[in-house]
Structure formats: structure tokens, C-alpha cells
Chain A
Amino acid sequence: MWKTVSAGATRVEPAVKQFLPPCQVRCPINEDIQRTNVLISLLPEDPELATDGVIQIGDYLYDRNPLFNICGYVCGLCELDCNYQSKGGAIRRRLLKRFVSDTYTYHLDRKEEFNIAKQKENVAIVGGGPAGLMCAFDLSKRGYRATIFEASDRLGGALWLIPRYRLPEKVLTSACENLVRIAGIDVKYNTRVGGGKLTLERLKNEGYKAVFVAEGTPAPRVLTFGREKVEGQELSGVMYGNMFLYEVSHGNIKPGYFKGQRVIVVGGGNVAFDVARTARRLGGETTVVCLECENKKSRDGIPADVDEIRGAWEEGIKIVYSRGVRKIVGESERVKKIECPKCTNVFDESGFNPKFDTSDAIELSGDVLIITVGQGMERGALQDLLDERGGLAVDPLTLESSKKEWVFIGGDLRRIGFMAEAMKEGLIAAESIERYLRGLDIREGRKIDFEPQDIPLRRYYLNEPEVLWIPPEKRLHFQLFERGFTLTEAIEEAKRCLTCGPCISCKACVSVGIQEALPTVKVYEDRCSGCGVCSSVCYYSSAQLKEVEGKRKSTTDMFKCKSCGMCVVACPSAARELTGCNMEKRIQEVYASL
């Protein structure tokens, strides 16, 4: 029976010298990617037998990341730093995670509540998006009574902006609803904090000893040209990208809504492409107009992901690069066309500072104009927390507000970023809140720098598997267009993982019973002659020769060593040994019985 244990000796140890595989360094919440990769690679080939194993892996992930089911559809930051990139392609870890959630999302409805005793204080979380949910989850596990104040009628925040063809609704709702059920978190829907009767001060008076404000950035940024707001944004047919996506997610937009219409989307980021591809699926003939240029390697390159651009292009969306919008021209109060001068430069030394050549301008006609140039916070409700320049006064290390010591701020509201980054801020806030409420130093030891480990050597590197998308002509609907991994494919891809990180950050082999414990390599310096065979054979660059009192001696970098034993076997002086490994003993026993 496939069994993985995650207690005692099999528990991942906190990074001692802060070494981690590069994927885990890149992941904002430093998830145990290596461990789960290895566990997946050791699953049984039989799908029925594997299901139990997948749920065990899911349970392990869930404990640290209750929103992990969503990550497998929308994230993949880890892949950007994967060491395998340079050797044939990053490990498709996002799809591996999706493979787990394909089973786990359905298991989640049956997962038992944690039933933690909540003896500690009440904490209020403003905003039920990823940051708020993670904070509430973490605080609940620590024994606090967390209450989420959510302005809308559903949890998930900005995750609802993600179109259905990328993130199925079931995955999102299952993750959010089960999170609050399993952790025992109280949610007050349709309750807006700030700006009205329910202020932060009122929360404090009602007994919430600390508040985490993570209401996100619901306000769309208006279209500007230079420093001026572009005229015509109130015309009929002009809308803002994120509002549009929210409406679609509520189911308020009928299929074929844009049939026969020309839709122009202004913006070059991933959200603009979400809007464009959604509009296309609603029947619109869609064009994207952006300031940035096509060359992603340049500083002015279009920020949207390569996969989004490719997908959009396949679906028949036109992309017009290096153009700004100077004027929106309407007719009978309806948008008709836009005037687009050439954008010669987007960024300069001072930052975002687009420059235009107004003599080179084109006109684009359209029936619908969707402006997707960014989002910002709703300032009105947060007056108490702003500094003189109108920005949020918050300590980036601890997320504590500089204006009110019992208020903590994080997520998109503090700094726009990826879902995983918001989640991380939720966790930081939870730690800060605990320290604040327990009277501990709130800053000590918070800054942790991780160092990524190098790629292990081997003879062959394998290419990444192809990602399979439904052909473009068949995917103009809101079902998932990307095919996930089958069990066999997942095992094979997980096997490709090179396990770059230190053993103490993984221990998958021990948890499955392949080894009883992690052996350690010992070098008997007095026996070592510095011959260098060990450093030739070590794939992890752990065995190295160093000068010791004028002689070359073999040493082991314990953070890189995988205790594979290659150096022990190859050493011609038998100067190396694996301790904590019972192989020698077993061999003696078997030979003695011959």
C-alpha cells in the first residue's frame, strides 16, 4: 500500500543555511515542490491504487497551502527558475500540481474539519481573496478566531477575474468554501469595512484585537495619455477590463454577447489577454492594442505571458503593438473608433514614461472598447492608513501599518502581484499578528534570504513533454482548453525532476520507506590522499578538494550532498563512508548465511 508519512524523521526540516532548490526559492510561499515531485514519481501505475496516494500528497500540500488546487491552473512561477530550463525545458510543475488537484478538488468536499480549539483572540480579516483566506487559515491553525469580512457575496477576490477556460469554477469555489469550513472560519458576506458605518475603529471596539486589511484593488485604472485622462471613457460601449471579467464570472453575460461586434482591448498585460480571449469566446472580432513592443526580451516588451499571446493569436485575435490611445471618438454617445499614435518608448530611467510620435497615428474602429490598463485601491475607505503622499503607510517586512499598530496590510492592496504573492503576505501577516498579540518582537528573524542550488550533472537531459491544447477552432468556449496529465504522464514528468535541493528540504524517499533515514557522508581526512576521484564522480558538486594545512583533502558540502554514495564507492583509499546506512550490515548478514 502506497504510504507516505510526514511526521518525525520524515518531516521537512527548516532550511538551516537557507538553501533550497530554485523552484522553491521562486515560489512566494516556498512550497515543498521537490518533495511532492518525488512523491508523485513514486506513485503506483495503477490509477485506482494511485488515487489514495494522490490524496495523501494533496493532504500534505493542503496543510501548508489550502489554495493549492487553484495554483495548478493559474500559477507556475516555480517553472521560471527551474534549473532544467537550460537543458531541455523546465519541469512542468504547474501541471503536476494540477494533476493532484484534479483528484483532490473532489476529495476536498469530504475532507474533515480540523476542529482546532480556538482559545486565542478574535482577529478580523478584511477581504476574502487569497491573502485574506491564507491569513485566516494560518491564524485558525494557530488557535485564533478569525472572521473574514467580505464585501461581495462570494470568497475568492481577484481570482474571479480569471476566465473559466483557465480556472474551472468548481476548483475555485471548492477551494474557498472548503477552506473556511475546514479551518472553522466565520465569514460575513456582503459586509464592507471602511467608508461607512463599519470602520476599523469599530472593529476594534467590537473585540477584534488585530485586523488584516487585504481588500485588493477593485478600482480600474482610467486610460490616460501622458498625464491627461483620455476623453470619451463615459461613452456607451466603453468598459473596464476587470469589471467586465467580474460580470462574466457572475454569469451575467450571455453567450454570443459580442457576436458581430468588433472589440478593441487596450492593454498588454495578462489581464488584457484574459479580456481579449473572453471577448473572442463571446463572439467578438477582437484586437488588442498595447503600448509595448513585440520583443519580450527588451525592456519595453509586452508583459503578457508567451502562452497567452500564442493562445490569443491562435484564436484569431489581432495584436497591435507599440500604440497608445490619444482619443476615443464616439457617435451618438456610442464609441466608434480610437486614435492611436505610435509609442516609441515605454520605460526610461525614471520608470514608466511612455513617449509618442503623434505624426504616426492610426485609427482603429470598434463597437466595444475594453480598457484594461491596471487596477488600484479604493482610497476612500482607507484614509486612516495613508501617509502624506497618499500611499499606504506600511512596513514591508512585517506588513504592520505605520499608522495603527494593530492593523496589518497586505495582498494586491499593498502591492499588485501574483496570487501566490498575495498568499505569502497573508502568511506574513498571520505571523506578525501572532507576535504582536503575544508581545514578541515583531521584526526579529523575519528576513530570510534563500540561496538556490545548482543543477545536478548527468549524462542525458530529457526534453519537456508537449503541452496539449485543444485546436483553436474547437476551443472557443469556456471549458478548459489545456489537457492535464494522465497518471502515467505525471509520473514520468515528476521523474524528470532533478531534485536540485538539499535532502533536508525534501525527505520524500524516507517518507515513502525507500530509505530508513538520510545517511550522511563522512570523510576520514587522515585516510584521504587528495586524489580527486570523488570530485570527478560527484554529480552534485558536493565532494570538493580543499587545501588543509598545505595538503589537498576531500571535503563534503553537506547542503549539496545527497548521500548517494557514489564518492564512497569510487574512493580508491576507502576514505569515505556512509553513516546511518545499514547496507553494510545487511550484506554481512546475507553473506554469512550463504
Chain B
Amino acid sequence: MAGKPKVVITWLGACGGCDEAIVDLHEAILNVAEAVDIVFWPVALDYKYKHLQSMQDGEIALSLITGSVRNSEHEEVAKMLRKKSQLVIAFGACACFGGTPGLANFRTKEDIFTWVYRDAPTVVNPKANVPQTKTWVDGKELTLPDFYTHVYTLNQMIPVDYYLPGCPPPPDLIGNMVQAVLSGDLPPKGSALAPRNSLCDVCDRNKTKPYRIELKEIKRIHEVEADPETCFLAKGIICMGPATRAGCGESCIRTNTPCRGCFGPVEGVQDSGARFISALASLFKVSKDDDIKQIMDGIADPAGTFYRFTQASSILGTKKIEKTEEV
């Protein structure tokens, strides 16, 4: 069947939000469906893996892959799609940076399994059964994908051509991406299909910052009634905006919530959390050294806050947590 380019939209360790974002193109999705042939989209269409397996290398024009890589199935699908696709786009924060699932890297697989299958309050599992990769039922072998010890980003598994960050990417960026792919007007390989600078560049609240910010304490967004027009950071509320790429349309800011960093680092930066740590620390001005420690200790869960979406792609992102022996 010559003519329309083949497009795959698939999910690995994902929540489905990115697929939802594609559907949020509303009527425009009909134009997309006209221009391309979607040959695999688990959430919406009934194609199977064998349909993918039967394709030639390079037969697929574009694969949009959402979700992080956590088990062997994810890895298999990612690798297969890489072989068979001309363009692979890491779609959404999970594929680009590991996303929120990346925070699981702060725990060992044992800890996770112990909690999920035994210790969590609503679990009833007297035999402490955990998923096995192989089991026999009625004389037949059943297999499950192997749950890895680590959450990986897509580009830690396969070479990725473009990145579309966001949790999820907003419809306008998705629309732009489709246009760009169809017209062939794409930036150099490896680029993110989003603006290059940080959120402060486009945020309306940026101009309300004083010349010098001198923070004496940190407040959490639920502890205060935030003014709807002033910069969060200037008021001592942690907003990841300065270290986060723009392009989301400031949807959180507009609902009076500080940015959580779902668009990942700006162009040219690998680890947005590290840069934000420097930036945030530099804004504090307290007189006594004891107060420094106190304030820093007062920030609830710094690792989770600064690396909420980007742990897996951070500088130490590939470090595996191991149980250390107490000596």
C-alpha cells in the first residue's frame, strides 16, 4: 500500500496521558488520520505485536513511543520499533527523561516488591506472591516480562531522533510535531521539539520578581494562599520554572500552581535538578550558618521535588541503588 506514511503510537511504562493528549487534538486528529496510516496504537486500535513484527526494517515512517522502560517487554518493543522505523520520537516526559516513574530509581526492586505485594495497607497476599517471569498453569507455561531493577529513559535503550517533552505534551506542540514530520521541516537530529529556553522566558509572573530575591524560608504551595500574579520563587514557593523548558503554555502557572518541571531541562543542560539546586541555594540569605542547615532541612523531599520527572536522565540517573551493609 503505497502513499500514506505509516505511524506507530505505542506505550511502554506509561500512564496513557500522552495518548490522551493526542486525542485532545480534537477534530484535528481527523486530519492526521487522513494524512497518515496509524498501524499500531494499543489504546485505540486493535493491532497486535505480530503485525509490527511482520513489517520490514524502515517501513514505519514514524514511531511515537511514550513511557519509560521498566521491563523486558518495553525493551523488546522499543528495540523492534527502532529497527523498523525511520524516525523515533520520545513522546512525553517518561520517554524523554524517565518521568515520574523515574523516582522509583530511589528504591531497590526488593523494596518496591515488598511494599506493593506485601506491606501496603490494602494488600491481602498471605503467601507473599510476587510476579514471576515464568509459571505453569494447567500444564502450560505462562511468561511475564522481567521487571528490571532500574527505570530507563528511551534513549538509554535505543537511539532517539527527537524528543517531545511534557507530562503530557500539549496539543499544540503535538500538532506542530506532526506538521514538521509531514513537511520534512525538522531541526537537527537529537533536538527537542519545544522552545529552547526556560519557563521564566514566557511566564507572565517573571517581571514581578524583585531585583534581588533574598529568601529566608521555603513555603509549600498548600501552606499559603499564593498571589495569582506574583512570581512563586520570589515568595519562597519552590517553582521549577527557571530550570524547566518552556512550551507547556504555563498551564500550571495559570491555575496558580508552581511549575513542577515536567518539560525537563532547557536546551544544552543534562541535569535540570542540579542546576536548580545551585539556583535555589543562591537565593537564600540567612545570617547564621546553623540557619542554613535548618532551612535546607525544612525543604520536604528535595530529591523528589527537583527530580520529579528527570531522575532517570540525571547525571546520577543510571546509578542503581543497592542495600549497603552497615559496618
Contact = CB atoms under 8 A, between A and B. Distances in A.
A529 B200 contact: yes
A528 B197 CA distance: 7
Contact of B275 (A536, A551, A566, A571): A571
B201 to A, nearest CB: 4
A572 B282 CA distance: 11
Contact of A570 (B198, B207, B246, B279): B279
B206 A570 contact: no
B50 interface: no
A569 interface: yes
A537 interface: yes
Interface stretch (B40-48, B120-128, B265-273, B319-327): B265-273
B269 A552 contact: no
A573 interface: yes
A180 B43 CA distance: 96
A533 interface: yes
Q: Using C-beta atoms within 8 Å of the partner chain, give the interface range for chain A.
A: 20 to 34
Contacts of B276: 572
A116 interface: no
B199 interface: yes
Contacts of A573: 197-198, 242-243, 266, 268-269, 275
A530 B199 CA distance: 10
B287 to A, nearest CB: 6
B174 to A, nearest CB: 23
Interface string A560-574: 000000100111111
A483 interface: no
Interface string A484-501: 000000000000000000
Nearest to B246: A529
Interface in A507-553: 526-533, 535-537, 551-552
A474 interface: no
Contacts of B214: 536
A170 interface: no
A535 B200 CA distance: 14
Contacts of B213: 532-533, 536
A110 interface: no
Contacts, number: 85
Contacts of B269: 573-574
A316 B148 CA distance: 90
A527 B279 CA distance: 16
Contacts of B279: 531, 533, 570-572
B243 A527 contact: no
B282 A531 contact: no
Interface residues of B, number: 31
A227 interface: no
A459 interface: yes
B198 A572 contact: yes
B49 interface: no
Interface in B231-282: 241-243, 246, 266-269, 272, 275-276, 278-279, 281-282
Nearest to A532: B209
A459 B287 contact: yes
Contacts of B189: none
B79 interface: no
A310 B125 CA distance: 89
Nearest to B212: A536
Given A536-B214, A570-B282, A529 B201 contact: yes
A572 B275 contact: yes
B296 to A, nearest CB: 16
A295 B106 CA distance: 70
Contact of B206 (A527, A532, A566): A532
A530 B281 CA distance: 18
A528 to B, nearest CB: 7
A529 B282 CA distance: 17
A529 B275 contact: no
Contacts of A527: 196-197, 266-268
B211 to A, nearest CB: 6
Nearest to B201: A529
A537 B275 contact: no
A527 B275 CA distance: 14
Interface string B276-295: 10110111010100000000
A533 B283 contact: yes
Contacts of B207: 552
The residue in A530, A531, A571, A572 that gathers the most chain B C-beta atoms within 10 A of its C-beta is: A572
Contacts of B196: 526-527
Nearest to B283: A536
A57 B243 CA distance: 46
Interface string A431-470: 0000000000000000000000000000110000000000
Contacts of B278: 569-572
A287 to B, nearest CB: 50
A459 B269 CA distance: 31
Contact of B282 (A460, A551, A566): A566
A268 B265 CA distance: 69
A2 to B, nearest CB: 32
B114 to A, nearest CB: 35
Contacts of B206: 529-532, 552
Contact of A533 (B197, B242, B268): B242
Given A527-B196, A529-B199, A574 B242 contact: no
A460 B287 CA distance: 8
The residue in B197, B266, B269 that gathers the most chain A C-beta atoms within 10 A of its C-beta is: B197
Nearest to B207: A552
Nearest to B287: A459
Nearest to A460: B287
Contacts of B267: 527
Contact of A551 (B201, B268, B283): B201
Contacts of B285: 459
Contacts of B201: 529-531, 551
A209 B102 CA distance: 86
B32 to A, nearest CB: 32
A569 B278 CA distance: 7
The residue in A459, A526, A569, A570 that gathers the most chain B C-beta atoms within 10 A of its C-beta is: A570
A475 to B, nearest CB: 41
Nearest to A526: B196
Contacts of B272: 572
A535 B266 contact: no
Contacts of A572: 198, 242-243, 266, 272, 275-276, 278-279
Nearest to B285: A459
B258 to A, nearest CB: 14
A460 to B, nearest CB: 8
Interface in B21-72: none
A533 to B, nearest CB: 5
Interface string A87-111: 0000000000000000000000000
Contacts of B198: 529, 531, 572-573
B229 to A, nearest CB: 16
A455 B39 CA distance: 67
Given A569-B278, A570-B282, A572-B276, 8 more contacts: A529-B200, A530-B206, A531-B198, A532-B213, A533-B242, A552-B206, A572-B242, A573-B269
Interface of B: 196-201, 206-207, 209, 211-214, 241-243, 246, 266-269, 272, 275-276, 278-279, 281-283, 285, 287
20 contacts: A526-B196, A526-B197, A527-B197, A527-B266, A529-B200, A529-B206, A529-B246, A530-B200, A531-B200, A531-B206, A532-B200, A537-B283, A551-B201, A570-B278, A571-B278, A571-B279, A572-B198, A572-B272, A572-B275, A574-B268
Interface of A: 459-460, 526-533, 535-537, 551-552, 566, 569-574
Q: What 5 A-B pairs are tightest by C-beta distance, nearest first?
A: A529-B201, A531-B200, A572-B243, A570-B282, A572-B242
